[in-house]
Amino acid sequence: MNITVYLGSREGSDPVFRETAAEIGRWVAEGGHTLIYGGSGIGLMGVLADAALEAGGEVIGVEPRFFIEQGLVHGGISRTIPTETMAERRLLMMEMGDAFIAIPGGVGTLDEISEVIVMATLGKHGKPCVIYNRDGYYDPLREMFDRMLEKGFMTKESRAKILFAESVPEIQALIEEAP
């Protein structure tokens, strides 16, 4: 299975974010899955890729050429697929993934997982979209989705496609239970 992971290109202010990235990288590799991610070697992205590689996993990065030219690409991953734009990167990562996980990150992470969620709620794919809510990082986002439902901007069916997990075993269960 190809598991696409969205996360920060920075490390954030709490060491738990590094732990989370490493934990997910190891879990993907140890499960025999292929990691699909943004391709950079910096921040949490580098931690994720390094952990997957150290656990013997295949790691595919999808990186816009302008990031490659800036020297941000991870030099040790299994394969790098260059794209011309961020939009092309998002689309390719979505097409390649069989499941999607967002771990802590910034606005880019939110942008990427949001597009995947939108496509799921529109019925364009039935792949699991899991937000890893480690230490409550994504509590405000969960509250916002619930508010959208409450205020009539989202259906119950659409809200049910946005999965939140508090642990890696819960992520695994959600992906295994997906139709």
Per-residue pLDDT tens for 94-120?
999 999 999 999 999 999 999 999 999
Mean pLDDT of 109-136: 95
Tell the residue number behind the tokens 């598991």, with chain if given: 3
Band of pLDDT at residue 138, cut at 50, 70 and 90: very high
Q: Does 3.30.499.10 match the CATH number of domain 2-174?
A: no
> Over 90: is that where the pLDDT of 93 sits?
yes
Report residue 78 as tokens: 């299994």
The string of DSSP codes covering 103-134 is -S--HHHHHHHHHHHHHHHTTS----EEEE-G
**pLDDT confidence bin for 140, thresholds 50/70/90:** very high
Picking from 33, 14, 13, the residue whose alpha carbon sits closest to that of residue 24 is 33
pLDDT tens digit sequence for 158-170: 999 999 999 999 9
**pLDDT band at residue 179 under the 50/70/90 scheme:** confident
* The pLDDT of residue 142: 97
Residue (of 16, 161, 43) closest to 5 by Cα position = 43
Beta carbons within 8 Å of 158's beta carbon, 6+ residues apart: 121
- Distance, in Å, from the CA atom of 128 to the CA atom of 3, rounded to the nearest integer, reads 10
Radius of gyration over alpha carbons of the chain, in Å?
A: 15
Q: Which two tokens stand for residue 126?
A: 């039935």
- Provide the angle, in degrees to the nearest 10, between the axes of the packed helices 43-54 and 15-30: 40
State residue 129's pLDDT score. Answer: 96
Quick one: which H or E segment has residue 76? none
| Residue 51, pLDDT above cutoff 90 | yes
- For residue 72, pLDDT over 90 is answered with no
> Going edge to edge, which strands form the sheet with 2-6?
79-83, 58-64, 34-37, 2-6, 99-102, 129-132, 162-165
Per-residue pLDDT, averaged over 9-25, amounts to 96
Look at residue 7 in the predicted model and tell me its pLDDT. Answer: 97
The backbone torsions φ and ψ at residue 178, rounded to the nearest 5 degrees and listed phi first, read -65, 145
Q: 178: pLDDT confidence band, cut at 50, 70 and 90?
A: confident
pLDDT at 153 over 80: yes
Q: What is the mean pLDDT of residues 70-90?
A: 93
- 0.85 exceeded by pTM: yes
